[in-house]
């Protein structure tokens, strides 16, 4: 219910999505997605202890980043870091990999999807469409009878 209320409040304020904070003001997640930011080439996401859903897509993104040699960090994220991030994206079953181009009317990076987000997104979509041999175990073929 809280997630639905957060998203509704965000939309009524003219935003597409809400970013939820912990009780102490750290970034938690979107209303139904995990959050990742990129700064200085490091992909960062909040820890499970910051009231996030430990999503399957989040785990997949972390694996893709490790396999692609992208440095990662799992740590608390301050709200102000969103304003100075080079890239930001949300991920989840419904969102898949969705770039965030602005936060609170401030552009994230250059206001477009960044190169690390693009790389992770491409690998992820290749994986879920069974076009990435390294991730073939992630999909189950369904055959027509």
CATH of the domain at 106: 3.20.10.10
Residue 23 lies in a domain: yes
Residue 60 lies in a domain: yes
Contact 33, 6 (CB under 8 A): no
Q: What is the pTM of this model?
A: 0.91
Residue 107 lies in a domain: yes
**Integer CA distances (angstroms), 7 to 15, 18, 33, 56, 65, in order:** 9, 5, 11, 21, 28
Tell me, what's the pLDDT at 142? 86
Question: Domain total for the chain?
Answer: 1
Q: Which residues does the chain have with pLDDT short of 70?
A: 1
Q: What is the largest CA-CA distance in the chain?
A: 54
Residue 81 lies in a domain: yes
Tell me, what's the pLDDT at 145? 77
Residue 143 lies in a domain: no
User: Rounded to the nearest 5 degrees, what angle is found at the Cα of 54, between the Cα atoms of 48 and 55?
Assistant: 155
Structural domain of 119: 2-138
């Amino acid at each position: 219910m809280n997630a639905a209320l957060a998203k509704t409040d965000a939309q009524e304020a003219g935003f597409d999505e809400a970013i939820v904070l912990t009780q102490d003001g750290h970034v938690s997640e979107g209303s139904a997605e995990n959050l990742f930011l990129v700064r200085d080439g490091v992909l960062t996401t909040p820890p499970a202890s910051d009231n996030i859903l430990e999503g399957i897509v989040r785990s997949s993104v972390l694996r893709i980043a490790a396999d692609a040699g992208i440095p990662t960090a799992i740590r608390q994220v301050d709200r102000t870091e969103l304003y100075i991030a080079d890239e930001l994206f949300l991920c989840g079953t419904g969102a898949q990999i969705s770039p965030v181009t602005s936060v609170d009317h401030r552009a994230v990076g250059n206001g477009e999807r960044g190169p690390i987000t693009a790389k992770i997104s491409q690998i992820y979509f290749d994986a879920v469409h069974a076009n990435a041999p390294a991730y073939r175990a992630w999909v189950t073929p369904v055959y027509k009878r």
